[in-house]
Structure 1
Amino acid sequence: MLDANMTQQLETYLANIREPIELVPSLGDGDKSRELGELLEEIAALSDKITLADAVDDARKPSFLIRRTGTDIAVRFAGIPMGHEFTSLVLALLHVGGHPSKAAEDLIEQVKGIEGDFEFETYFSLSCQNCPDVVQALNLMAVLNPNIRHTAIDGALFKDEVEAREIMSVPQIFLNGEPFAQGRMELEQIVARIDDNAGARAAEKLAEKDPFDVLIVGGGPAGATAAVYAARKGIRTGVLAERFGGQVLDTMAIENFPSVQETEGPKLAAQLEAHVRQYDVDIMNLHTAEKLTPAEREGDFHSVELKNGATLNARTVILTTGARWRHMNVPGEEEYKNKGVAYCPHCDGPFYKGKRVAVIGGGNSGVEAAIDLAGIVAHVTLIEYDSQLRADAVLQRKLGSLKNVKVITSALTTQVNGDGSKVTGLTYKDRNHGTSHDVELEGVFVQIGLVPNTEWLKGAVALTERGEIEIDDRGETSQPGIFAAGDATTEPYKQIVVAMGAGSNAALSAFDYLIRLPSEELQAA
C-alpha cells in the first residue's frame, strides 16, 4: 500500500509518538478489507509504539480504530484513508499517540471544556480537498475530549449508507445521527457550533483590540499579500477573514502560478498563511464583517462592525473580500443544492460515478469540470449560454477528444428538475429558436463565474452595477484611506497572481497614505 517514499516519511513522523497506541481492525472478505489489513500491518511495523490488535466485528467493514493503549482516547476510520486523507491518518496516529497539536492553546482548552455527548460521523471522498480539514478537526476534538467521538467514512465504500442518508456532496457531517453541517469547516467553526458561549467570548476578545494602522478584510491571496507588505513596513496590521485562504481553498489544480509548475489550492493557502504568520500580523480568522463606516474626516478611524457584535477600528482599511460561485437562480437550484446540484466537481464528482451529469458554463472552470467528470461519470452534457465556448483553446481541444461529452451552446438553463429528494434532470431554452428541451440526468455542476462578496459595502464605497468595488490605479476606493484589491474589485482579470500584485499595490498605497497624514494624527495612531 505504501511506496518507499511514503514509508520513509511516515516512519519519520511516527518517531514523534509519545504514548503506545493500537490499531484495531474490522475486516471482511473483500479486496478493500485485504488492502486495509496490509496497510495496518505496514504502519505497525514502522514503530515499536504501535501494536496491531486482533480484528473485531464492527458494523462497518473495512474500518479500524486508532486507540491509545489502555484508554478510551480513539478515532475511527471506515475505509482506507489514502489520497487527500493520508495526512488525516498521519495526524490521527500522532495525536492519539500523544503528540501535541499545533492548534492555539486557548482553542484546545475550549475543546477540552465542552460538555455534553457528541457522536460525529463525517462522510468524505478521497478526491475531496475540502474533507481533510473537517476530518482532522473532529479527530482532534475526539482526542482532546472524552465526550466527543468521531468516525470518518469513505462514502465510496459505504454506498448503502450514502444512499440511505441521501448524501450527494462531501464533506457531510452528522451529529448524534442527525445532519449537522455540509462543506468545508475548520476547528474553530465546529467548536463555535457546539459551544453556545463561543460567539460572545470571541466578540469580547475582539472588542478589546487597539485600533490598527491597516485592517485587511479578507484572507485570500490579495489579503495575504497585503498583510505581508504592510507588516514589513512596521505598521500595526490586522487581517479579518471568514476563512483564511478564501476561494483558493476550493481550487484543485493551479498550473499558471509563476515559478510553481503545479500546486493545489489548500496547499497554497497554507503556505500563504504560514508566510503571513512570520510577521507581526494579528490574524482574526472565521469572523464575518457586516458594516463598514468610513471616517468622517481624513485621518480619523474607519470602523468595521462584525456579525458577532464587535467593532474594529483602523486608520486605513484594505478590502480583499474576494468572490463566490455564481448561482443560476433558477427554480430547483436551491431546493436541490447538495441533492444533485453541486459547485465542486473535485469534491462531489465521485458520487456520480456511472451517472449522467451536466456542467453549466463554458469558461475555463466549466470545461475543466467537464473534462474531470468525464473520467468518472457515464456522460457529461456541457451547457453554455454563449454561441461558443470561452475556455482556453488547449482545454477545448481536450474536451473535444472525449467521447462521452456533449456540448450545447446558445442555451439558457431555465429549471432544475427533481423528484422531491434528488435531481432528475434540467430544462434549457434554445436561444436561437426559443424552444425548450429537457435533459434527464442525476447531477448538475454549476460553473458560471463569480459574484463579488460586497453586499455589506453598499453605501460605504462606490460599487459598480455588478457589485465590484471601484478602484483607481493605486487601489484606492471612493473613500480616502480605504483601499481594495482582488476579485471583489473592478480589476478585470480574476487570477491569483493578479490578486497578489493588487494586494501589494494596495498595501503600499495604504502605507503611503499613512505617512502623508499630518504628524499629530500619526502620533495619535
Structure 2
Amino acid sequence: MLDQNTSAQLKTLLERLESPIEIVATLNGSDKSDKIKELVTEVAALSPQVTARFDGTNKRAPSFGIAKVGEQPRVNFAGLPMGHEFTSLILALLQVSGYAPKVSDEVLAQIKGLNLTSDFDVFVSLSCHNCPDVVQALNLIAIYNPDTTATMIDGAFFQDEVEERKIMAVPMLFQNGEHIGQGRMTLEEIIAKLDTGAAAKDAEKLNAKESFDVLVIGGGPAGNTSAIYAARKGIKTGIVAERFGGQVMDTMDIENYTSIQKTQGPKFAAEMEAHVREYGVDIMNLQKVSSIKGADETANGLVEVTLENGAKLESKTVILSTGARWREMNVPGEKEYKTRGVAYCPHCDGPLFKGKRVAVIGGGNSGVEAAIDLAGIVEHVTLVEFDTKLRADQVLQDKLNSLPNTTVIMNALSTEVVGDGSQVTALKYKDRATDEEHTVELAGIFVQIGLLPNTDFLKDSPVELSKRGEIVINERNETNVKGVFAAGDCTTVPYKQIIIATGEGAKASLSAFDYIIRSGQ
C-alpha cells in the first residue's frame, strides 16, 4: 500500500518514537478490512518499536487504534488515513509514543487542564484540506486526557453511518454523539470551544496589555504583511484575528503569487504566521472586534478597540484588514440546510455527494471550476447563473461544456432551497425572462457567488463604508478616522487577490508609521 519512497520516509520518522506502541486493528473480513490490515502490517514492519495486533474490539469495523504498550487505544482511525490524512497518522504514531507536539507550553497546559471524559468523532473526506487540522487537534486532546478518545471516520468507508447521521459537510465534529461543530477549526479554536472559562481568562489577559504602536485587526495576507512591515520598524505591533490565516485557509490551490509556482492555502497561511512570529508580533488569535473608537474620540488620543469578550486594547494606530467571507444566496432554506446539503467548499464536501445530483450557484471562475471538479465525482452538475452569460474564463467554459454530465442554466434567479427536514432535496429557481418557476431535484447545492467584506462591526462606527460595505480608503490606505488605516479585501480597492492584499498591507503599515512620526506620538 505504501510505495517505496513513502515507506523509507516513514521508517526514518519512526526512529523518533519515544516508547513502544501498538497498532490494534478491528477487522471484519471485508475488502476494506484487508486494506486496513495491509496498512497496519506495513507500518509495523518499519520499526521494532511498533507492534501490530488484529484482535481489536472497536465498535467500528474495520478500523485501528494506536496506543502505548499495555494501554487501550484512545486515538482511532475508522478508515485509511491516506491523502491529506497521512500526516495525521504519522503525528499520531509519534505523539502517542510520547513525542512532544509542536505547540506552546501554554496550549499544552490548556489541553491537560480540560480534564475531559469524552468520545470525539470527526467525519472527514480524504480530499478535504481542512480536515487534518481537526483530526490532529482531537488526537492531541485524547492523548493528554486519559478518559477521552478521538476517532477519524472516513465518510467513504462508512457511508451507511454518513447517511444515517446526515453528514453532508466535512469536517463534522461530534462529542459524545452530539454535534458540536463543522468546518475548519484550529487546535486553539477547539480548546476554546471545550474550555467554558476561556473567554473570561482571555479578557483578563488582554485588558492587562499596554498600548500598541500599530494594532492590526485581521490575520489574513493584508494583516500579516502590515504586521511584518510595522515590526521591522522596531515598534510595538499586535494582531487581533478572529481566525488566523483568514480566507486563504479555505483556498485550495494558489498558482498566481509571484515566485511561488503552486501552493495550497493552509500551507501558505502557516508560512505567513511563521514569518510574522519571527518578528515577535503579539498575536491575539480567536478574538473578534465588536467596536472601534478613533483617536479623536478618546481622552488619551489613542485608538480604542473593544473585543466581543469585553476586553479593550489601545494603540496609536489601527490597521483594519478583516478580509471577506463567502456571499450567501439569502433565500429561504439556505441557513436551515447549511452543512446538510448547502455547501461552500467543493474540494472539502464534494466527495460526500458521490453519485448524487448537485447544483453550483454562480458562473464566475469559482463557480465553473467547482462544477468541473464536481463533475468528476457526482452523477450530474447543474450550474445556475443569474446573468445571461457566464463570466468565467473561456478556457474554463470550454472545459465545462465538454463534460457529458453538466447542464448550464442562465438568466435564472435561485429562489428557495428545498429539504425534507433533515437534508436538501431540491433547488427552486425562476426564469428571469419568463418569470416561470422551476424545481431541480438534487442532494447538494454549492454556493460560489463571490465575497462580502467583514465589516459588520463598523456599521455604527465613524469609519466610512461604501454601499457594498467596504471600508473607504485613499491612496495611502487612510480611512476618514484619525489613526485608522485599512487594507485588503475589506476595502474599496478593486481586484480581491492575495498579492494585492499583501501589497495593500505593506502600504497601510508604512502609512501608519509615517502618521506616528508626523504626529509626534
- State the 1:9 CA deviation: 2.4
The code of the aligned residue for 1:331 comes to: P
CA distance in 2, matches of 1:49, 1:116: 29
Conserved in 2, the CA contact under 8 Å of 1:16 and 1:99?
Answer: yes
CA offset at residue 23 of structure 1? 0.4
Match in the other structure for 1:365: 366
Shift of 1:504: 0.9
**1:355-434 to 2 correspondence within 5 Å?**
355-434=356-435
% same residue: 60
C-alpha separation between the residues in 2 aligned to 1:250 and 1:297? 37
Opposite residue 487 of structure 2, the aligned amino acid is A
Q: Given the two structures, how large is their TM-score scaled by the length of structure 1? A: 0.96
The separation in 1 between residues aligned to 2:22 and 2:196, in whole angstroms, is: 35
Aligned residues: 519
CA contact (8 A) 1:120 1:174 kept: yes
Pairing 1:480–2:498 present: no
Taking the aligned partners of 1:32 and 1:255, their CA distance within structure 2 comes to 36
Q: How does 1:46-85 map to 2 (within 5 A)?
A: 46-72=46-72, 74-85=74-85
TM-score of the pair, normalised by structure 2: 0.97
Tell whether the 8 Å contact from 1:230 to 1:508 is kept in structure 2 after alignment: yes
Taking the aligned partners of 1:460 and 1:39, their CA distance within structure 2 comes to: 60
CA separation in 1, counterparts of 2:5 and 2:465?
A: 51
Over 6 Å off, 4+ runs: none
Asked if 2 retains the 8 angstrom alpha-carbon contact of 1:72 and 1:146, the reply is no
User: Structure 2 CA distance, aligned partners of 1:143 and 1:127?
Assistant: 25
Alpha-carbon offset, residue 260 of structure 1 = 1.7
Partners of 2:376 and 2:481 in 1: CA distance:
50
1:445 equivalent in structure 2: 446
Q: 8 Å contact 2:84–2:128 — kept in the other structure?
A: yes
Q: Equivalent residue of 2:309, what SS?
A: coil
- Contact 2:27 2:54 survives alignment (8 Å): no
Displacement of 1:314: 0.7
Measured after TM superposition, the shift of residue 480 of structure 1 is: 2.3
CA shift, 1:307, in A, is: 0.9
Aligned counterparts of 2:216 and 2:31: Cα–Cα separation in 1: 51
Structure-2 separation of matches of 1:4 and 1:320: 46
1:490 to 473, 476, 492: 492
Q: State the alpha-carbon separation in 1 of the partners of residues 229 and 160 from structure 2.
A: 52
Partners of 1:68 and 1:74 within 8 A in 2: no
- C-alpha separation in 2, matches of 1:274 and 1:453: 24
Alignment correspondent of 2:154: 154
CA distance in 2, matches of 1:22, 1:217: 46
For 2:273, the equivalent position in structure 1 comes to: 273
How far does residue 8 in structure 1 lie from its aligned partner after superposition? Answer: 2.7
Given that 2:133 and 2:184 are in contact with CA atoms closer than 8 Å, whether structure 1 keeps it comes out as yes
Residue 147 of structure 1 deviates from its aligned partner by 2.8
Distance in structure 1 (CA, Å) of the matches to 2:462 and 2:470: 13
Letter in 2 for 1:226: S
Aligned position for 2:37: 37
* Stretch of structure 1 that moved more, 27-36 or 503-512: 27-36
CA 5–508 in structure 1, closer or farther in 2 if over 3 Å, else same:
farther
CA distance in 1, matches of 2:119, 2:149: 5
CA separation of 1:515/1:178 partners in 2, compared to 1, >3 Å: closer, same or farther? same
- Return 181-190 or 450-459, whichever deviates more: 181-190
> Quick one: which amino acid aligns to residue 437 of structure 1?
H
Alignment partner, residue 501 of structure 1: 503
- The 1:382–1:373 alpha-carbon spacing in structure 2 relative to 1, beyond 3 Å, is same
Which runs of structure 2 are paired with 1:84-483 in the superposition (5 Å)?
84-296=84-296, 300-458=301-459, 459-483=461-485
Provide, for residues 495-519 of structure 1, a one-character-per-residue CA deviation record: whole Å limited to 9, x for no partner: 111111111111111111111122x
Q: For each residue in 1:191-238, what CA deviation from the matched residue of structure 2 results, as whole angstroms up to 9, or x when unmatched?
A: 222222111111111111111100010001111111111111111110
Find the aligned partners of 1:347 and 1:151 in 2 and give their Cα distance.
19
Cα distance between partner residues in 1 of 2:62 and 2:128: 20
Query: Are the counterparts in 2 of residues 471 and 478 from structure 1 also a CA contact under 8 Å?
Result: yes
| Equivalent AA in structure 2 for residue 476 of structure 1 | E
CA contact (8 A) 1:353 1:378 kept: yes
CA distance in 1, matches of 2:395, 2:100: 47
Contact 2:74 2:148 in 1 (8 A): no
Farther off after superposition, 117-126 or 187-196: 187-196
- SS of aligned partner of 1:276: helix
Secondary structure at the residue paired with 2:75?
Answer: strand
Q: Is the 8 A contact 2:116 2:145 kept in 1?
A: no
1:11 Cα deviation from its structure 2 partner:
2.2
